[in-house]
Every structure is written in structure tokens, then in C-alpha cells.
Structure 1
Amino acid sequence: MNRILLLTLFVFSVYTNCRAQSNPRYLILFKDKKNSPYSIEKPAEYLSQRAISRRNRQGIALTTADLPVNPAYVDAVRKTGAMVIYTSRWFNGTLVEASDSQLKAIKELSFYKGTELNLPVANLTMPSEGVLRSAAVTHKFGTTEDIDYGNARAQLALMQVPVLHQRGFEGQGMIIAVLDNGFVNGNTVGYLKALRDENRIADTHDFVARDGDVYNDGSHGLNVLSTMAAYDPGRMVGGAFKASYALYRTENDDIEAPYEEITWLLAAERADSLGADVINSSLGYNTFEGPFNNAAYNHTYADMDGKTTIISRAARYASRTGMVVVTAAGNEGGNSWRYITAPADVDSVLTVGASTYDRSYASLSSVGPNAAGQQKPDVAAVGVGAIIGGISGNVSSGNGTSFASPLVAGLAAILWQAHPELTAQQLIYALKHSGHQADRPDNFLGYGVPDVVRAETIIEEQFTPLGTEPEIIGQMALSPNPTQKEISIAVPAALAGKQASFSLFSVSGAKYWSAARRLQTKEMIAIADLPSGIYLLHVMVENQEKTFRFFKQ
């Protein structure tokens, strides 16, 4: 684990099984971050360069919420005898196990502000029957040979994802964080071999058991991951099969408790610190189990206003850092609850409902609006008969918004790869308004199933007002994007040999480079020495001009 991620976690492996704890757990909140050794002016001390760059290219300023918790406060809490488990910079607090006397001592500290919920968030001394909130009802088609690449491709083709794949946008350089119940056998199944062999597992952490292993608990997360990351031609290929992934276990199948909302918060903070671009969360919360199944803990529909529950507040923070947060609407459509679950109620989160392959509403899918009256879900994707990978390396099908959500998350990652100049919220806007029912959105499918071609038209028309592009120069193409060392400009034959001028600018207008030369059919421009960020390359040929946007990693 690198030094930056260590600053977001205070992990003490005194206990490795949450059911064996001897004292309740509390999320203790602090009044401020005064006298902190960290500052907004030195973000590299607590955020990765990727996280900083993600904010910079979207014009997102750092705030005190980004600062780690004051270590002196954490030390003072520890001196009461309470066990410090994790800290939360967004909530400005620390998760502890504490006895009654230790909790009393904490409350007497001068910087103590309060306790989240004013109650324990976990006291898991015994297991109960687990439930899968947004989980899938799965079945096998028979043998793995019954499902070929064509079947797996259909759920992507519905959104025209192959259009981006054909242009080389397969997730390269993007990081998707997956928050779920675990990834059993993710370190061995064949359809993730390329992910492992190419060292694209960027980070892992088990926030529930804290045993350092995300591959020994829970199959639901593996099913979800497969829809994005699988690469097994002829059997299954995911939507962003060249992306990197951070795998975080936040869900405990033994019991449904408010603690899982806090582990989600902690995982989202870690994803932010890592520099993740997209979060997928196929989880949702409304009621709890065991000692937490009462009015003090259970959520009501009125709580689904996007800003009340712990997990929804955490998702709002995550969105404000410039990540695209994609979450399942929930599978409550046929139940008495019926509505979306948290954090699907958050306005800035991309909430995904379930559709059939003919883009019809799937009756299991939770409906909106949220309690504030905002239309939800935002979009939809295949959630009935979705193609997923299993723990034995098999390929099967499943039902649920759990699988619709990562299909959209994978699309979001590669569309953002193709258009890195967009902000997270601009990308969400384009995806929403590309839906098949964008002219008549509702609280069942939102704007409908996104479409890559429509989304790129929206991006071109609304977010790319760059110069004039007569027909011939408009055929010029820049690749790769994002890039690290150089860019290539493909020049149409009709322009080869003509005199051209090139100018390279930052998005702020500062000129980095200019040159004039006769065009070849492929122009190579070295950019390895440029700092990370978004740049504009302006090309002028006679009376024609074109401006390219690209992202230097």
C-alpha cells in the first residue's frame, strides 16, 4: 500500500472478524480540523497525483473536507482505550470500538462534536440471515458453451458500446472502483486472466473483515465485476475490459447493519485518494436486520431525499470530488417498498434501473422519484438475463439492477476515455440525454437506455464548440487519448503535402509549442515532457482549421 493511501486509513488488525468484536462500534465526529499538519496547499501529502489531476481538469477546488482527520484528535481518542479502526476525512471523524466508559471519555474531549446516529453503528456479536439488497436472481443456461460472445455482446450492443471499442477505447488508463460484497475466486477465474496478467488490479481492501483478502468472501461482487472487466473472447467480454480496477469489500452478507453504509463511505474515500474515475455500487439500503431492525435505524421513504442517510451523504461527497458515481436503483419494484434505495436517491449520482433487451421496464426494478421529488432512476440497462461471470469461471445469466449498473459504469469509463475534457457531471448529462426515451423520461427507466452515438452527438453539440471544420480537415483524427508520451494525427490524403501550422495550448490559454511544416499522412508530436492535464492542439491548413482536445496522463 502506498504512503498516500495509508493516510486515509488507520487500520489495526486486533480483530479480523466483525462478529467477534467485544464492544459496539461508533462513528465519532469531530468539531473541526484545526492545527492539522495537512493543508490545502500541499495536496500531494494526502492525495495521489491522479486524484489531484482529476480535480484540476474539472476545475474542482480542494476544501477542508479533503484534509485528513487531525492525527492529534485520533491519538486522544486512542488514549481513552477505545480501538481506532478507520478515520473519515469527509465526515471528519473516526470509527471506534468502545466500551461505555471509553465512549464517555471520548465525549468529554474538547473537539468531540457528536456520534453519528447517536447510536452504535455495529455490534455484530452474532450472525443473522443475510439478505442481498440489490443482488441478482441468477440461473445457468446449462453449460458454459451455451453462452458465446454474441450473447455477452448483446447487452453492450444495446448501448452501442462496440462503437467505442472499434475506435480503440476499451478503458485504457481509466480506474473503476467496485464496492460490493467480495470477489470470490477473482484471483483465479479465467475470464479475468488478462486483468491479472496485465497488473490492472490497482488496489484491494476488505473493509468488513479487514483480513486483507477480497477474494474469500462474496460472489456478487465478482458477478458485477465480470460485466465490465471480463475478457474471454468467444464467451464473455466486458464493457471496459482494458480498464484498471480497485476492488473493495464493503458489504457483509451475514447481517444487514448501518455499519455497511460507513464501510461504503470509507471505500469511496479510498477510491478518491487512489484517483479512481468511476465508482460502481450495486448496493442499496433501506431496512436493517437483527438489533438494527427498528425505527432508530431503519430508513423511511422520507429519508430517500439524497442527503439524509450516511451512504447518500458519502455518495454526494464522492461526486463532488469529480468521480462518476454509478449505482443500482434497487430491486424493490415488486415489493412493498417499491422505491429506490440509498444511495440511488442522490441527485449527482447516476442511478441505473433495469430494462429488458427490448428496452422495456423490468418489473423488479425500483422506481422513483426520490423523496425530494427528483426523477429517478436516471438511465437503464439490461437487468433481465444479463450475462455475468461466476465463481467457477462459468458464464451464466442474472437478473437485477446489480448488473445494469456496471454495464453503465463500463460505458461511462470508455466514453470518458474518449472525451477526457468533460467533467463528471457533463458526462452524466450526455449519458442521460442519449437515452432512448430522453424526450419522455419517467420514474421507471429515467431517460432510458443510453446510446453511444447519441451521447457523442450531444458532446459535440453542447460541450465542444471548437472552431470551424470544413469537410476535409474534419477527417483528421487524434490518437491515443488519453496519452502519455506522444500523439498521432491521421491526415487525409487530400491534405498530405500541404503547409500546416500547429499550436499547442493549455486549457487556460498558455501556449506550449508551435511549428509549421508540410503535412505527412501521419504526424507524430511528442508530449512526454508536458505536465498532466488537458491540452488543445490547433491545426491550420490554408483556410481550414481544427482544434483537438486531449488529456496528458
Structure 2
Amino acid sequence: MKKTLLLTVLTFLIAEGVVFSQSNPRYLLLFKDKSNSTYSVDKPTEFLSQRSVDRRKKQNIAITTNDFPVNQGYLFAITQTGAKVIYPSRWFNGALVEASDAQLAQIKTLPFYKGIELNLPVANITSKSPGIARTDATNRKLGTTEDVDYGKMNAQLALMEVADMHKKGFQGENMLIAILDNGFAKGDEVAYFKQLRDEKRIVDSHDFVARDGNIYNDGFHGLNVMSTIAGYLPGTLVGTAFKASFALYVTENNFGESPYEEITWLMAAERADSLGADVINSSLGYTTFDDEFDSPAYNHTYKDMDGKTTIVSRAARYATRKGILVVNSAGNDGNDTWKYIGAPADVDSVLTVGATNYDRSYSSLSSVGPNAAQQQKPDVAAVGAGTIIGDLGGGASSGYGTSFSAPQIAGVAAILWQAFPNLTAQQVIYVLKKSGHLAATPDNFLGYGVPNLVKAQEIVQNEFAPLGTEGELLRDVILSPNPAQDEVTLTIPQTLIGKMAKVGLYAANGATMHSATTRLPAKHTVATGQLASGIYLIRIKVDNQERTLKFIKR
């Protein structure tokens, strides 16, 4: 497994170098196919870690050619033109490439060339120097901080009943959380991460911007964000999932706000997937960019916030469909002309987090929904006005923004999933939403409100715990997909194929929707397209044994 993981990670590290030596524009090239691949869906550990494979298997997510690395021959052919391959992309089937006009012209003649994302370069960093625009952008992410009394993190945790889970021993052990941010300055020094460092729970890190191998020499926004999850300094601060393991990725360029950051987000998410991350926290959002990219070709409009248009939103969609629970800040534009959520907070399957005050009321800084497809957003909320965060000095400060509400929810999701590992990522999101204090009256300001982990556990027990008697013969029956749209399929184990069974479809309240006796095939399909959104049950009975499986209809 160690060798496999190394090979997986190495596919991201082609042409390692320093970003500031760039002399030509960078493009996200797209390829026509993955023909003649040496990989097979039957041998996934040749290109994914075992943990990544297991995450898919647990959620009945198929491994497809989309998971294959790009054709290495294509990358080699590009380098033969003199261009530099920075990172390949499995999900987009392409590569981030630095090329001159002449080199790009040669690349366009290659038989596998399909096109260029945006039909434009995504970065030319040598033409951009630090300036006011980036300072403003950083301030929008960071908000302001001030010294506060130590120990006040308890208040923000109490709103979500986090202590109840911690007392039961669910503190994040064996959960892997990837954090995508602008840097983790002092993360290798501050006292509240000492336990994390001593236990070697930072299992992977990479700077996708500077590519200098150091995540601790850039911005500190990631440090503040991470402290709300991983911090552990009793009497000062304790994060929501302080025993989790972490993958730390720098995707934000502190010298400019550009479309390039959407590309680095994509690359980091792919690496997190390969590693087997359970949760991604992204306290980032993209709408418009710095002056250099201030044109309709780059800047997004509200119409683009439909969850499937921008590069970063498409990347987040891929991540969620690989079984990762992606948590993203709604944004801090509630008081601005652009008041809406940004990308990738607009994605249907992303858990989008707004900001509250300590009385669970809406904080006016928090961006609002719906997305451009009229889907209600955000999904849930947590304290984002005066959030207690860890600071550069190793103590506690207060911060403002959805940057700090989102990671609290990422940690909450991790410990809930730890407690109920048989749930899918989307089921965890469903449970958190239903446990929110506004679950009866969700809106486009706070979504379903602040989750409550005591209520969440009750919801899991009531709606997802196995019903009836589960016999040995039926325990290997698998239902997929979940959540479902037009149909669900029961995969029947070999020992049951050909046996007579009663298969019924029921509403959550037990009302019969459909029931029939049938001889079991290898795959038994139940139509669900006519059903309204909600929870449903499929009950299968063979002889004197019975099993009930639950699924969500979107």
C-alpha cells in the first residue's frame, strides 16, 4: 500500500519547481480520451490508495475510467514541444501546462488535443505583483481578529452539542480531513497543534501554488481555519474533531486572486481523493478576480453559480461523487453588492455553511442563496461572528466570517460519520440538515440552521438503523445508488440468486408503495422516479429472514 500511495501522489508532482520562475502563460489543456490506458477498474489500487477504494466501496460508488490517471504518453508528447507539464488532472482528463505561443501551437496539432479550458490562459504570475487588490481579497477571507479570554471556544461548540459526541469517544480518530487554504504559517510551532504533531496525524501536505514543499511559510488563514477543527489546548481551545488526521494543501496564491486558484483547488481535491480523504474543508470561494483578470471571460456572474459551470464547482461535484463530504463556506458578501454564495458553495451536493451570531441568529456578513439553479443555499450554519480561533501566537482570538463557521461543521460531520460509519457522505449531510434548529423552516440565509449532534444521533437511529431481523443470507445485499433519482438497484449475493423473495417499497412512515414476490436475479431494480423527495425503505424477505434498507430520493 505504501508503494501504491507513493505512485499515486507522484502523478501530481511532475515538473516540480518554483511557481515564480514562470516565464510563459499556463493553460488547462483538455485531452480527447484515455485510450490505451494501462490501468483497469478491476485493479484500482494501482492508481488509488486502498483507503480511497474502501471509501467508494462503502458507499457503493463505482470506480470508472474517470478515476484513471491521464495517459502518460500524452504528457510526454507535450514535454517534447518544450512546454512544461505542471500537474495532470484525472477528473478533467487534461493537464496544467506552461507553454509559449509557439509551443502551444505545436500542442494543438497533437492527435489527442481536445481544447483549452476557458480558451484562455489561467495564469501568468510574472506579470502580477503584490498589491492592494490582493490585500482586499485576503481581508475578505480573514475578517478582523481581536484578543479574547481563553476557553471561550466552549460556547460555539455547545450550540451544536459537540461535547456529547466527545464524551462518547467520538473525537475524529481514523477520520481524514483535507484542508484547502492559503497556508498554515506557524502550524509547525503553535502549542495547540502539539498533540497533532506528536501523534504524526498530518499525513500529507503540498503547496500547489509555490510548489516549494513548505506549507508553513505562506499565509495563516489556513492555520486559523484548522484550529477550529484540530486545535487541542485544554483551557484555551478544543476543536470539533481534534483527534482526526489531516492533509494540508495550499491552493490560494497570496499575491493575486486569479482563475489559477480554481485549478489548484481541483488538483488538491484530486490528491485528497487519491489519498482517501473523508472530508474536504474549503473556506474559499470564487466570484470575481483581480484587475489582470477583470473581464467577462474570467469573472463569474450570478448566473454561473448553478453548481456546474465554474471550474472549481465542477471539481467539487467530482469530489462529492467520489464519496467525499465537501464542506465549503457560503462567503462573506451578505452586506455587499454581490450578496450571493460563491463557487463551489453553489454545488448541490456540497455542504454549504453560513454564519450565525451566538444566539443562532443570522450574521449579516454571511452570503445568501439560492444558487442560480434556485436550489436553497446555504445548507447549515455555525458561529461565524466572533468565532474563537487559534492565532499565530499559539493562543486564542476571535474571527469573523464563514471561513470559520465552515470548518466547525467539517469537524462535526467527521465525528458524526465516525460514530455512524455505514452512512454515506450525502446521508451525513441529510442528517446534519435535519438536526438544524431551522429544520422546520429552512431559508436562504442559514439553510437548516445550526446542527445539533444529540438530535443528529436520534435521527440516525430512527431513520437509518436496520429494521426487522437481518439474517446471514441477507446481510450482503447492497442497495445503490444512494441518494437515488430514477431507480435503485439491489445487488444480490450469489447464494440468493434464484430464490423466491418478497420485495417491498415503503414510505418512511411504513405505508406500502409497492410489493411483489419475485425470483431474485443478480440485480433487482426498483423504479423510484415517480417518488417525491424523502426517505424510503426497501424490505426484502427470503424464507424467514428479512432485511430493510433505507435510501434517500432526491
TM-score for the superposition, normalised by structure 1: 0.83
Give the Cα separation in 2 of the matches to 1:187 and 1:510: 49
Does the C-alpha gap of structure 1 residues 134 and 245 become closer, same or farther in structure 2, counting only changes over 3 Å? Answer: farther
> In structure 2, what is the equivalent of residue 12 of structure 1?
15
> In structure 1, what is the equivalent of residue 440 of structure 2?
439
1:283-298 equivalence runs, <5 A: 283-298=284-299
For 2:290, give the aligned amino acid: E
> In structure 1, what is the equivalent of residue 459 of structure 2?
458
1:62-461 equivalence runs, <5 A: 62-125=63-126, 126-129=128-131, 130=134, 131-132=137-138, 135-141=141-147, 146-148=149-151, 151-461=152-462
How far residue 10 of structure 1 moved from its aligned partner, in angstroms, is 3.6
Q: Is the 8 A contact 2:259 2:298 kept in 1?
A: yes
Give the Cα separation in 2 of the matches to 1:224 and 1:90: 27
Moved more, 132-141 or 329-338: 132-141
How far residue 507 of structure 1 moved from its aligned partner, in angstroms, is 6.1
3-state DSSP class of the match of 2:147? coil
How far residue 505 of structure 1 moved from its aligned partner, in angstroms, is 5.4
Does the C-alpha gap of structure 1 residues 23 and 546 become closer, same or farther in structure 2, counting only changes over 3 Å? Answer: closer
3-state DSSP class of the match of 2:247? strand
Give the Cα separation in 1 of the matches to 2:172 and 2:140: 26
Q: Is the 8 A contact 1:329 1:365 kept in 2?
A: yes
Q: Is the 8 A contact 1:134 1:284 kept in 2?
A: no
For 2:42, give the aligned amino acid: E
Q: Deviations over 1:335-393 (max 9, x none)?
A: 00000000000000000000011100000000000001000000000001101001121
Does the C-alpha gap of structure 1 residues 134 and 342 become closer, same or farther in structure 2, counting only changes over 3 Å? Answer: farther
Give the Cα separation in 1 of the matches to 2:464 and 2:123: 46
Moved more, 70-79 or 130-139: 130-139
Q: Is the 8 A contact 1:180 1:221 kept in 2?
A: yes
Give the Cα separation in 2 of the matches to 1:192 and 1:100: 47
Give the Cα separation in 2 of the matches to 1:406 and 1:134: 17
> In structure 2, what is the equivalent of residue 3 of structure 1?
6
3-state DSSP class of the match of 2:267? helix
Q: Is the 8 A contact 1:169 1:417 kept in 2?
A: yes
Q: What's the C-alpha RMSD, in Å, of the aligned pairs?
A: 2.3
TM-score for the superposition, normalised by structure 2: 0.83
> In structure 2, what is the equivalent of residue 49 of structure 1?
50
3-state DSSP class of the match of 1:135? helix
Q: Is the 8 A contact 1:7 1:46 kept in 2?
A: no
Does the C-alpha gap of structure 1 residues 265 and 502 become closer, same or farther in structure 2, counting only changes over 3 Å? Answer: closer
For 2:11, give the aligned amino acid: T
Paired residues in the alignment total: 479
Give the Cα separation in 1 of the matches to 2:246 and 2:203: 5
> Can you give the 5+ residue segments of structure 2 that lack an aligned partner in the other structure?
479-491, 495-545, 549-554
Moved more, 21-30 or 451-460: 451-460
For 1:49, give the aligned amino acid: Q
How far residue 6 of structure 1 moved from its aligned partner, in angstroms, is 2.8
3-state DSSP class of the match of 2:178? strand
> Can you give the 5+ residue segments of structure 1 that lack an aligned partner in the other structure?
470-500, 512-544, 548-553
Give the Cα separation in 1 of the matches to 2:203 and 2:477: 29
Moved more, 217-226 or 291-300: 291-300
3-state DSSP class of the match of 1:5? helix
Q: Is the 8 A contact 2:236 2:395 kept in 1?
A: no
> In structure 2, what is the equivalent of residue 542 of structure 1?
none
Q: Is the 8 A contact 2:20 2:210 kept in 1?
A: no
Give the Cα separation in 2 of the matches to 1:445 and 1:39: 44
Q: Is the 8 A contact 1:4 1:273 kept in 2?
A: no
Give the Cα separation in 2 of the matches to 1:8 and 1:206: 15
Q: Deviations over 1:112-151 (max 9, x none)?
A: 0000000000001121431127513232225xxx212xx1
3-state DSSP class of the match of 1:54? helix
Give the % identical residues: 63
3-state DSSP class of the match of 1:32? coil
How far residue 503 of structure 1 moved from its aligned partner, in angstroms, is 11
